[in-house]
Amino acid sequence: MSSLFDLTGLRALITGSSQGIGLALAEGLARHGAKIVLNGRNADKVMEAAGTLAAKGFKADGAVFDVTSAEAAAKGVADIEANSGPIDILVNNAGMQFRAPLEDFPADKWDELLRTNISSVFYVGQAVARHMIPRQKGKIINIASVQSELARTNIAPYTATKGAVRNLTRGMCADWAKHGLQINAIAPGYFKTPLNQALVENPEFSAWLANRTPAGRWGNVDELVGAAVFLAGPASSFVNGHTLYVDGGITTCL
């Protein structure tokens, strides 16, 4: 049965993987045999992340490019395909958050959220799919959120982008499943990450979260690895267009 979760020899590109969820997923996929390509815009941070994996016995290549640029994404993917080898697994993880009341939300931050959280999924996903389609196989995992399903004050634009990720995942499946590609999403709940550090350190919010979540706690990033390995490997061979919520049950209590 272990062969269902064996990623040996498969190359995985994880965007936004110099820290947080992206780096945790990179390590998790590496532990199951995948060859890792880390991505970010800051070369120093990408190299530091590669060093973190190397210290644990995993080799990782770095691919420094801006996923919010269609041209940079296409060139970056082409460089990986030419110099490292074919991308078998793509994890679209790059994302950002900005909190403000909707009536005061800055227009420039709205635009930045759209570019980072949804345009990047389209740009990198399209670039990778153009290489996967001729091979008639490939796995794309988009990182959505419980905010694909829920809403909360002061993060309406973020919620809009993550709802779009969920539906773009469905659209990618509708277009690309016939070419042998499988496109799914993971929707994390509230996890301890640098993106959420301000909330983690807020006792009032953490108490609210514990009461709101059936599991009664924050998630740890390594708890996302199983979902990623499942969607990246043979075990999910007939799963397509699906969003898998890893949220401690918070979406069961609407």
The CATH number given to whatever domain includes residue 54 is 3.40.50.720
Sequence-separated (6 or more) residues with CB below 8 Å from residue 217: 209, 210, 248
Q: How many domains does the chain have?
A: 1
What pLDDT is recorded for position 142?
98
What pLDDT is recorded for position 67?
98
- In Å, what is the CA distance from 203 to each residue of 99, 100, 154, 208, 209? 18, 20, 18, 9, 10
Q: Kindly tell me if the per-residue pLDDT of 1 is higher than 80.
A: no
Whether 126 maps to a domain, the answer reads yes
Which band of pLDDT confidence, cut at 50, 70 and 90, is reported for residue 197?
confident
Whether 139 maps to a domain, the answer reads yes
**99 class by beta-carbon count within 10 Å (0-12 exposed, 13-18 middle, 19+ buried):** middle
Whether 53 maps to a domain, the answer reads yes
- In Å, what is the CA distance from 66 to each residue of 13, 45, 62, 107, 164? 14, 14, 13, 21, 20
Q: Kindly tell me if the per-residue pLDDT of 8 is higher than 80.
A: yes
Domain housing 205:
2-249
**Cα Rg of the chain (Å, integer):** 17
**What gap in Å lies between CA 46 and CA 62, rounded to an integer?**
6
Whether 13 maps to a domain, the answer reads yes
Whether 39 maps to a domain, the answer reads yes
Which band of pLDDT confidence, cut at 50, 70 and 90, is reported for residue 226?
very high
**What's the whole-number average pLDDT of the chain?**
96
**What gap in Å lies between CA 242 and CA 165, rounded to an integer?**
11
Which is more confidently placed, 197 or 247?
Answer: 247
Whether 150 maps to a domain, the answer reads yes
User: What percentage of the chain has pLDDT greater than the value 90?
Assistant: 94
What pLDDT is recorded for position 77?
98
| Catalytically annotated residue among 123, 158, 190, 245 | 158
Whether 59 maps to a domain, the answer reads yes
Which band of pLDDT confidence, cut at 50, 70 and 90, is reported for residue 193?
confident
Q: What is the pLDDT of residues 81-140, one digit of tens each?
A: 999 999 999 999 999 999 999 999 999 999 999 999 999 999 999 999 999 999 999 999
- Tell me the backbone φ, ψ of residue 207, rounded to 5 degrees: -65, -40
Largest CA distance in the chain: 53
What pLDDT is recorded for position 254?
62
Is 158 among the catalytic positions?
Answer: yes
- Tell me the backbone φ, ψ of residue 35, rounded to 5 degrees: -85, 130
Whether 254 maps to a domain, the answer reads no
